[in-house]
Amino acid sequence: MVNKIRRLTGIKKVGHAGTLDPFATGVLLICLGPATKKSASLMNLDKEYRAEIVLGQERDTMDVTGKVIAEAAVPELDIAGVDAALQSFIGRIEQEIPAYSAAKHQGKRLYKLARAGKEVPRLYKQVEIDEIERLSLEKDRLSIRVVCGKGTYIRTLARDIARKLGTAGYVNTLVRTRVGDYHLADAMTIEAVQAAMKSTEVSQ
């Protein structure tokens, strides 16, 4: 996305303030020119996500793109039990960093090790979960809204929630709806940016 914006605008200095998983959609803050100096502080803003968790399977990537590595029966779930499980993750918690992530170990990206079939070390980090809200619950589908701090892996959270419920799970869809005061409703698609740039060229 950074490369696309760089090509469209002709501005060489372009950066972002927090990556999104390849399968995810939503708010991605792009910084141009002098604004790239603000990227570090923007990364520290809280983030809000909506995720659909499919229950009954676990995948190596912890999302819909991965291979099934485990299956488990989905128990009869009730609203009160699910809400209690969700609330148990509120606060500062320890998360396992996904093997398929851009995190580094000894200078190498974990996802590169995983894709090469090499052993990926188990690494953990502390993250902050501010809010978790149940949006919907079906037999094998749980949709949630999460407000969290920097560096939180929603894929890991989804897997751990499923395990807490006595089953397995992975993220089917993931949308980042907000970063600080920057909301999805105010965001532009790359196509809209491209159209705006063409319109500017024509008007000139």
Residues labelled as active-site residues: 21
Contact 128, 149 (CB under 8 A): yes
Q: How buried is 155 (Cβ within 10 angstroms: 0-12 exposed, 13-18 middle, 19+ buried)? A: buried
Q: Which helix (H) or strand (E) holds 37?
A: none
Q: In terms of Cα–Cα distance, which of 78, 118, 75, 77 is closest to 100? A: 118
Rounded to whole angstroms, how far apart are CA atoms 75 and 56? 9
> Which helix (H) or strand (E) element contains residue 87?
helix 79-87
